[in-house]
Structure 1
Amino acid sequence: MRALLQRVRRADVTVDGEVIGKIGQGLLVFLGVMDGDTESEMEYLAQKVAGIRIFCDENDKMNRGITDIDGDFLVVSQFTLGADCSHGKRPSFIKAARPEVAVPLYEQFCERLRAITGRDVQTGEFGADMDVSLVNDGPVTIWMDTDEMRKGKA
């Protein structure tokens, strides 16, 4: 499972001209579910995302988490995070999980973020053609995945 986090001042996601998810200050999370991902990997990643401290404190140090800044989450499914670009010029997405696996894990991830943090979690629409707008704060962009967990290093 892979997550690309962006610390944002605001973000929204639009489908067919209608805003379906919108946050102010918080984290925009692009989530890619990979073939073979499990609930334990979803839990691991949700805990990591919920606890990350990438918001600045009074000394301008990244020392605050989402609950400290009264922020929210916007989680957008993104199968393209599973792209394999190692051969040729056209990415392969064969490593991305099929919807019957990805949708439940995506939904569980969002629910776990809500449960862990008590914060609002806005979402995109799984499988839809979405327009995502954001104002990246910093910019701060963080990559997370469950590879270390799979290798037993977490």
Structure 2
Amino acid sequence: MRALVQRVAEAEVTVAGASVGRIGPGLLVLVCAMQGDDEGQADRLAARVARLRIFRDEADKMNRSVLDTGGGALVVSQFTLAADTRTGNRPGFSAAAAPETGEALYLRFAAALRDLGVPVQTGVFGADMRVALVNDGPVTIWLDSAVRG
């Protein structure tokens, strides 16, 4: 699985003009299941995200996790993280998991974050979403659960 994690002051996702998820300080997590991914990878990636120390401590160092700060997570499915741009001008997405698998692993990832104690809001899998955020820092981190060739 792949995740693009952004430390945010706030973030919101809307579908057809209606808010479906909103957080204050915390993490916006764009997540994509890849072919071959399984529930174990979703759980491990959620644990990495929950413990990722990218929030400031008293000494202004990035030394605290979303668990330490009590922040929330807005988890949004983003199959385009599977983009292959090695050739041509049009990205290919064949490395993304099939939609049924992708949705199941996306939901598993969000549930695993909740189980770890992170308040979680989500987007709507497969929907045309609008995501608004105020990136704090800015801090943006790319995570991948597997090394791919």
| Residue matched to 1:56 | 56
User: Structure 2 CA distance, aligned partners of 1:72 and 1:126?
Assistant: 19
Structure 2 unaligned regions, length at least 5: none
TM-score, L = length of structure 2: 0.97
Distance in 1, matches of 2:77 and 2:136, equals 21
**Following the alignment from structure 1 to structure 2, what is the Cα–Cα distance between the partners of residues 119 and 139?**
21
Deviation readout 1:58-89 (Å, 9 max, x if unpaired): 11000111122120000000000000001100
* C-alpha separation in 2, matches of 1:52 and 1:61: 13
- Identify the residue that residue 70 of structure 1 maps to in structure 2: 70
Partner of 2:136: 137
> Structure 1: which 4+ aligned runs deviate by more than 3 Å?
none
Give the superposed CA RMSD: 1.2
Q: Normalization by structure 1: what TM-score?
A: 0.93
Deviation at 1:96, TM superposition (A): 0.6
C-alpha separation in 2, matches of 1:85 and 1:3: 17
Cα distance in 1 between the residues matched to 2:23 and 2:124:
15
Structure 2 CA distance, aligned partners of 1:128 and 1:95? 20
Instruction: Tell me the alpha carbon deviations over residues 108-133 of structure 1, each in whole angstroms, 9 at most, x when there is no partner.
Output: 110100001x2210000000000000
Name the % identity. Answer: 57
What is the one-letter code of the residue matched to 2:56? Answer: C
